[in-house]
Amino acid sequence: MRRKKYKQFVSEWSQNKEMREQHNFSLFIEGLKKITKYDVEYLCTGHGVVLKGKINEFISDLLEFK
């Protein structure tokens, strides 16, 4: 459920020019690309959410919004 909500958020962020610029969407995408170089089992978002399993698959889904 959290992954679905996060994908929706990133999708909306990617489509809003003002938000993209204000919150540096391109830097976010570059960070995701760097993470995919590792075999990650857990993703700690820094906002209390910890995701476990299929992290690279999840990040690849997010990268589609670039």
The predicted structure's pLDDT at residue 1: 80
Which pLDDT belongs to residue 66? Answer: 83
> What is the per-residue pLDDT for 48?
76
How would you write the pLDDT of the chain (66 residues) with one tens digit per residue?
Answer: 889 998 999 999 999 999 999 999 999 999 999 999 999 899 887 777 889 999 999 999 999 998
So what's the pLDDT on residue 2? 85
Q: What is the pTM of this model?
A: 0.82
Helix, strand or coil, per DSSP, at residue 51: strand
> Measured between alpha carbons, how far is residue 14 from residues 23, 37, 40, 50 in Å?
10, 22, 24, 23
Residue with tokens 């589609």: 64
The Cα–Cα gap between 35 and 39 comes to 8
